[in-house]
Structure formats: C-alpha cells, structure tokens
Amino acid sequence: MTTERPARLHVDWTACDRRGSCIELLPELLDADDWGYPMPREGHRDLSVDGELTADVLTAVKLCPRLALTLTPGS
Ligand code: SF4
C-alpha cells in the first residue's frame, strides 16, 4: 500500500518582509495576518498544494523577493 502525500508550500516567516505578492498570487491559499505576513487559510503551517494551483504556487515561489517560499514535491 502506498500513501500519496501532496506537495507542500512552506513559508519562512523569518525571511519574509511582508511585501505580499504571494498573497495576491495565491488568494485561495494565503491571507495576510494583522502584521501583513502571509498566513495559510487552512490553518496549518505548511499548505497542501493540489495540482490545479501548482503553477500559481511555483510562480509565487519564483517571485518571492526574499526566497521565503519553498514548494516540497509530493510523493
Ligand atoms: S512574497 Fe515572499 S517576502 Fe513577500 S509576503 Fe510572500 S513570502 Fe513574504
């Protein structure tokens, strides 16, 4: 039996400078907290990324000016 794990998006808040482009690109996944940091809408530290959003997530990862976003492939 195999267990498939979805891709995961990790936000490194220690690197983030709250510019917010990721929130604009990924409104389905992220919202801003009271200080402007991107917060997962689903409440987990690392977000599950389904196939439909993968291209947008990759764009957000590439455009993050602080390299604060990491997408870990699923298995
Ligand atoms: S794009 Fe990067 S630096 Fe900007 S808010 Fe998102 S994680 Fe932070």
- Stated pTM of the model: 0.89
The series of mean pLDDT values per 10 residues for the chain, 75 residues long, is: 81 94 95 94 85 93 97 90
Q: Are 8 and 46 in contact (CB under 8 A)?
A: yes
3 alpha carbon – ligand 1 mean position (Å): 31
40 lines ligand 1 (CB under 6 A): no
What is the pLDDT, as a whole number, of residue 21? Answer: 94
Ligand 1 centroid distance, CA of 65 (Å): 7
